[in-house]
Chains A and B, each alone.
Chain A
Amino acid sequence: MTTYAAPGTEGSIVSYESRYDHFIGGEYVPPAKGQHFENPTPVTGQPFTEIARGTAEDVERALDAAHGAAPAWGKTSVAERATILNRIADRMEANLEALAVAESWENGKAVRETLNADIPLAIDHFRYFAGAIRAQEGGVSEIDGDTVAYHFHEPLGVVGQIIPWNFPILMATWKLAPALAAGNAVVLKPAEQTPASIHLLMSLISDLLPPGVLNIVNGFGVEAGKPLASNRRISKVAFTGETTTGRLIMQYASESLIPVTLELGGKSPNLFFDDVASAHDAYYDKALEGFTMFALNQGEVCTCPSRALIQARIYDRFLADATERTKAVKQGHPLDTETMIGAQASNDQYEKILSYIDIGKQEGARVVTGGEPSDLGGELSGGYYVQPTIFEGHNKMRIFQEEIFGPVVSVAKFDDYNDAIKTANDTLYGLGAGVWSRNGNVAYRAGRDIQAGRVWVNNYHAYPAHAAFGGYKQSGIGRENHSMMLDHYQQTKNLLVNYSENKLGFF
């Protein structure tokens, strides 16, 4: 067991600067209006650094830098770009522990997750796209004996990316790695709740990229995000967040006629068929862990398995065992490696979760366990902690229909296969789902019948590169985490070439 010292305190392996400006054109530049805002850690609620409060002027400056860099960057060889991405990954790997501690302090998540998931996945992601861009092929199509259609991939140019706060470094990497691999210059806006850790990453890697290829403008959505998303000088915008902002970004994109990729969340069902409990073996134990995955990252995951649907024949027994497993989730200081669940990322998130617990109780859902905030005492009393919570109810309740984005699972029973699929699909969203069955035929059919972009079968919450991730229905547009993402950041250039010496004879 280890408890890491807080960043910047004695004995810590990592320190944040006391202030971060914008990273534009390869250097740090102060915000045009000279304003900064405080950035608190959700671990204690206390500020630990301050961040530039960007405005449209700063976005324009970043776009100037990006447009200056994009033409040359887009013409670099794929070998050169892949080498840079691999070097970024190597630097991150050499500093994995420091990045993991810094990310935990920034976001409030347990350090065992950043050590074993967030940062290793981000490292692998850069390496994956370094490989993917090297292996990408264009096309040669023989139209007739004299005519050939060549298809080339070309970068879009300058793209805008707006990053969420639940996995600040990993979600930035999901967007950056394919965009850079494809030869684009980027203007990126981190979430205002978690703006600092990307700058710690930049302190390790900024010398590897030509100036202007990656620019980071901090600030609030309305002041910095909107001038970026609505800008006529970007060729694409990528956003992870919620539906209203997703629609607004599409409106802006429609004015510029540019493409968007959107990842807008879900309300993911996790289905447990009755054969799960046919033996009390390692598989049953794994299924109970699969249920408890709703508490991973404090539930702040777009694919949180927040609706557990359990077949009636095993319902009582399975829920009792799953409740016992949930009660064993250890909540504590996020920098303690034994801690399984840390702090919610911000005060407003904490308040929102409690408001959902309130409406759940009003609607008549039964609290099986949890249902209250946690006061962990000492300096943690100022942080934002919520008990892992299990509700029992039915699928029409609002806690079954809305992404609470907290450690809250809503449980209902189903009678048979058709009932399970009907309930699973009775949602506005279609991002993730889980299917648990020892019967391969049932698991396969359920996986195909659930309207979601990612269905985990006999596992949950794995995010390896090379497995496409994205939503059906209102969960968004586009896919991440796969080489097909390169297409989202590339134009197709068709060169149609005629090799005949003879005229057509029309004129």
Chain B
Amino acid sequence: MTAERVAVTPAAADLLRNLADTHGPLMFHQSGGCCDGSAPMCYPAGEFRTGDSDVHLGELTVDGIDPVPVWMSASQFEYWQHTHLTIDVVPGRGSGFSLEAPEGVRFLIRSRLLTDDELRAFGLA
């Protein structure tokens, strides 16, 4: 089977379309640590420089805009690799330099455990 590590809710997809209208192609980098840590940070593509210390988790497919890559630091991925991540959006103030904060909303990660089939597909079982 083909398995995906990341997905996006319809509400978050709508928001991404709006943000892409203003900012062009987009990317996510999943944060860790305090305050607004553990939040997915949305930037114009290329604004945040990824490197060998990052893992490319996948691409979000949103109708009408370029695929949105999702990244995480490799060290954090060690602890997150058994979970599937869905990017959602909630009302909020946000912080960091993520693009959606001025809209009065905040991207949020919803997590679930990977299924046995997905674990096998990723070589984890």
Partners in one complex: yes
Contact of B35 with A242 in the complex, beta carbons under 8 Å: yes
User: In chain A between 179 and 225, which residues have their CB closer than 8 angstroms to a CB of chain B?
Assistant: 191-193, 220-223, 225
How distant is the Cα of A475 from the Cα of B33 in the complex, in angstroms? 7
Chain A residues with Cβ under 8 A from B108's Cβ? 348, 351-352, 355
CB distance from A219 to the nearest CB of B (A): 8
User: Which residue on B lies nearest to A241, using beta carbons?
Assistant: B35
Partner of A351, one of B34, B49, B92: B92
Tell whether A266 is near chain B: CB-to-CB under 8 Å. yes
Residues of B72-104 contacting chain A, CB below 8 A: 73, 75-76, 79-80, 83, 90-99, 101-102, 104
- Complexed CA–CA distance, A222 and B104 (Å): 13
Residue of B nearest to A250 (CB): B49
Asked if A337 is at the interface of the complex by the 8 Å CB criterion, the answer is: no
Answer yes or no: A248 CB below 8 A from chain B CBs.
Answer: yes
Q: A363-B113, A398-B80 are in contact. Are A221 and B37 (CB under 8 A)?
A: no
Interface size class of B (residues with CB under 8 A): 35 or more
Which one of B37, B41, B80, B97 contacts A403 once the chains associate, using CB atoms below 8 Å? B37
Q: Quick check: B48 and A244 within 8 Å, CB to CB?
A: yes
- Total A-B residue contacts, Cβ distance less than 8 Å: 162
- B94 smallest CB distance to A (angstroms): 6
Given contacts A242-B39, A251-B48, A348-B108, is CB(A428)–CB(B96) below 8 Å? no
A346 at the interface (CB under 8 A from B): yes
Are A243 and B73 closer than 8 Å at their CB atoms? yes
Assembly CA distance A397 to B67 (angstroms): 30
Contacts of B79 in A (CB 8 A): 396, 398, 401-402, 428
**Residue contact B34 to A265, C-beta cutoff 8 Å:** yes
Q: Does A245 contact B (CB under 8 A)?
A: yes
Question: If the complex has contacts A265-B33, A403-B34, A403-B38, are A248 and B93 also in contact, measured as CB distance less than 8 A?
Answer: no
Asked whether any CB of chain A lies closer than 8 Å to the CB of B55, the reply is: no
| 15 more CB-based (< 8 A) A-B contacts, given A245-B36, A356-B38 | A192-B93, A221-B96, A221-B101, A222-B99, A226-B97, A241-B96, A245-B31, A248-B43, A347-B90, A348-B36, A348-B90, A355-B109, A403-B34, A403-B37, A428-B75
Produce 1/0 per residue, A326-365, CB < 8 A to B: 0000000000000000000011110110011011001100
**Per-position contact with B for A48-73: 1 when CB-CB < 8 Å, else 0?**
00000100000000000000000000
Evaluate contact between B92 and A166: CB separation under 8 angstroms: no
Q: Could you tell me the dominant secondary structure of chain A's interface residues?
A: mixed
| Distance between A163 CB and nearest chain B CB, rounded to angstroms | 10
A165 contact from B38, B95, B109, Cβ within 8 A: B95
- What are the residues of chain B within 8 A of A264 when measuring CB–CB? 33-34, 37
* Bound: A263/B34 CA distance, A: 9
A429 and B93 contacting across the interface, CB-CB below 8 Å:
no
* Contact of B110 with A by CB under 8 A: yes
A114 at the interface (CB under 8 A from B): no
